[in-house]
Chain A
Amino acid sequence: MSKQTRTIKVDALARVEGEGALHVRIKDGVVKDVKFRIFEPPRFFEAFLQGRLYSEAPDITARICGICPIAYMMGASQAMEDALGMAVTGPLRDLRRLIYCGEWIESHVLHAYLLHAPDFLGFEDAIRLSQHHPGVVEKALQLKKLGNRILEVIGGRAVHPVNLRVGGFYRTPRKDAIRALIGPLQWAVEASLDTVKLVGGFDFPDYHYDYTCVSLHHPDEYPITQGRLISNRGLDIAIDEFSNHIIEQHVAHSNALQGHLQGSDCYLVGPIARYNNNFEQLSDLARQAAGEAGLGRVCDNPFQSIVVRAVETLYACEEALRLAENYEEPDAPYVEPTVQAGIGHGCTEAPRGICYHRYQLDENGRILEATIVPPTSQNQLQIERDLWGVVEKNLDLPEDRLKWRCEQTIRNYDPCISCATHFLRLTVERE
């Protein structure tokens, strides 16, 4: 076996958002090289933002990603607010957290059930899964629909909402519209608890990694919209120090810049990093459900990310319920910005991990310079590292199983390649 020369080719990796490719080279039974390529065509957002008004950034950056537009709208808005020396607090901040919960629910449920669960149950997609497990996919779709419903009630529509702006919202939703979410959210807490139980019972491949976990941390809450940047290795910085610690590198095989953390070559962002860094801030119910589903205080098996996503979905449903119950219509839909020159930073927890924005504005509020660091580009190097380890552990698997396992390893990250700069091609070359 070890001297055998084999070549495996998969033309397309599916159930990811975007176009990329994977190349694995194995010689004499030893992994020689792993390259996770992103060849999603570059779209140049940071370039064409130059010269646009500060107020246009949320709507423009939303178009980076159809799955997590809130992450971009919120990061851009908060960065602009920072540059303009203003802050959005109280009921408007709560409303932002509520719509962000909607995006977490929609995105996590989409990934867990429609994209990731079929791997664990041996189906090629969720439609085939639904034929063998009637009721499961239907319930997931209702949960996902509720996430989208929150986006629609507050934002106007689920993909690229229209109602968010620098300073808050164009129009605040009526109390009765938000209160109408309460009943469905009570159902959703139960439905997401069932999800945690379901996915907790999957078989997880035996693979562990001592991750450097980077996430936001907020003293009062599980991090979604705001916080300091922390790691499990002692990093604890304000978000405006992001670029002093995280360096983006451009490599030949990818159209997405790769993130490196100074002093540690690769790091992890996303659900596992958030969970490991902020476990104590989850709700009692979410912590308990995590324990019952077999998660420890720290998760080091990336295949269990589906369980962490389910736990976070449960938390997001509880949090959305709390926010909906306490909602009162704010006095004004937004805080009026005063235009001035400045530099601003924004960082939020997108479903896939921290998403960072930095803008420099001139005195008329025009963008002079824009930097956006999405989560998937930060995870690229860690994905390669996991693939390396997973291939090494599974060299004895038949080719088609090994290919599927590699795909599953990439899907652990719910990679959004549209964000990172889509079509994943996998080739395994064995010499």
Chain B
Amino acid sequence: MAGKRKPKLAVWKFSSCDGCQLSLLDCEDELLTVAASVEIAYFLEATRATIKGPYALSLVEGSISTPEDAERIRAVRRQSKVLITIGACATSGGIQALRNFQDVEQFISTVYARPEFIDTLATSTAIAEHVPVDFELRGCPIDKHQLLEVLNAFLNGRKPNVPRHSQCIECKQAGTVCVMVARGTPCLGPVTQAGCGNLCPSCNRGCYGCFGPKETPNPASLSARFGELGMAQPAVKQIYRLFNAHAPEFQQESQRHE
């Protein structure tokens, strides 16, 4: 019971689908080991027991889309020694950032009969746009092995081994035939960060960008190739407007095709 104090872990949720924190519960073989090496101090999806901060490590899922959440993330940052964002919502605003390109008032009235009951911001934004973030783990959803690597790294005071190179590298490493070269299927792989395990190309479909922009991407060149493959301008715009639409490189490229 007593003995050496274990580091306190907190998991926080903002606007999201819960899929990334579920990835922690999906570590079936490792969950009880993780639980034994940290003190789960705040993780509402898993436990009603909560322990007060400060926390050694906070995992943050979800984007900021309400005035209340914009305040709450500051309180989370103040209580956290290390803050790691998990998933596309927290690192780039998520699919709900599609509102950033349109009139949110119109969105509200499309979905809700009584718009006056709804309190929301005009934008959905990444956590790093509000508070300093120590590490951003990408993915829609995150990969559970990468999550374990990041937890392991921070608990042992080392840098996480999470590559920022493209999906293309992952396909080559796995020996997956290039869907764009072999089949002419549009694929975001050349501009998207690796990490999922080249899932889509191995299912004979193009990557749709779950892990967001790779380091120094060149989307303009990729879009030109999409054009040669017969993709119309509006479709080129839309391909960048999914789960990482608000990531700067994807946002700028989609706006070039408006």
Interface positions of A (Cβ within 8 A of B): 12-19, 40-48, 50, 52-53, 56, 59-60, 63-67, 69, 110, 114-115, 124-128, 130, 137-138, 141-142, 144-145, 148, 156-160, 162-163, 165, 169-171, 249-252, 255, 257, 333, 404, 407, 416, 418, 422-423
Contact = CB atoms under 8 A, between A and B. Distances in A.
Nearest to A15: B48
B23 A159 contact: yes
A418 B18 contact: yes
B210 A160 contact: yes
Contact of A127 (B22, B26, B46, B99): B46
Given A44-B108, A66-B17, A67-B19, A255 B114 contact: no
Interface of B: 13-23, 25-26, 28-29, 31-32, 35, 40, 44-50, 65-66, 69, 94-96, 98-99, 102, 104, 106-108, 110-114, 117-118, 120, 124, 140-141, 196-197, 199-200, 202-205, 208, 210, 238, 242-243
A333 B96 CA distance: 31
Contact of B111 (A42, A126, A165): A42
B32 A130 contact: yes
A376 B96 CA distance: 20
B44, B114, B208, B243: residue with the most chain A Cβ atoms closer than 10 Å: B44
Contacts of A158: 26
Given A124-B47, A160-B19, A423-B13, A250 B114 contact: yes
B48 to A, nearest CB: 4
Contacts of B23: 159
Contacts, number: 191
Contact of B99 (A48, A53, A148): A48
Contacts of A141: 28-29, 31-32
Contact of A160 (B110, B124, B141): B141
B112 A250 contact: yes
Please give me the 4 A-B residue pairs with the lowest Cβ-Cβ distance, nearest first.
A66-B19, A125-B47, A14-B48, A124-B49
A257 B45 CA distance: 23
Nearest to B110: A47
A13, A60, A66, A255: residue with the most chain B Cβ atoms closer than 10 Å: A66
Contact of A18 (B18, B40, B196): B18
Contacts of A63: 17, 19, 94-95, 140, 243
16 contacts: A16-B44, A41-B65, A63-B17, A63-B19, A63-B94, A63-B95, A114-B46, A145-B29, A156-B200, A160-B141, A162-B199, A170-B200, A171-B204, A251-B117, A252-B114, A255-B117
B141 A15 contact: no
A178 B19 CA distance: 25
A87 to B, nearest CB: 22
Contacts of A16: 44-45
B210 A250 contact: no
B48 A407 contact: yes
Given A41-B66, A114-B25, A162-B200, A47 B107 contact: yes
B109 to A, nearest CB: 9
A114 B35 CA distance: 13
B48 A144 contact: no
Given A47-B107, A125-B49, 16 more contacts: A14-B48, A16-B45, A19-B13, A41-B69, A41-B120, A44-B110, A45-B95, A66-B22, A66-B141, A125-B40, A126-B46, A127-B32, A138-B32, A157-B196, A418-B18, A423-B44
Contacts of B208: 59, 162
A15 B46 contact: yes
Contact of A124 (B17, B48, B120, B238): B48
Contact of B113 (A40, A50, A163, A250): A250
Contact of A13 (B13, B48, B120, B238): B48
Nearest to A52: B238
A13 B45 CA distance: 9
A118 to B, nearest CB: 8
Nearest to A252: B117
B18 A65 contact: yes
Nearest to A50: B110
A125 B46 contact: yes
Contacts of B98: 44, 48
Contacts of A114: 25, 46
A249 B48 CA distance: 31
Nearest to B48: A14
B45 A170 contact: no
B110 to A, nearest CB: 4
A59 B242 contact: yes
A165 B205 CA distance: 10
A43 B17 CA distance: 10
Contacts of B107: 44, 47-48
B19 A69 contact: yes
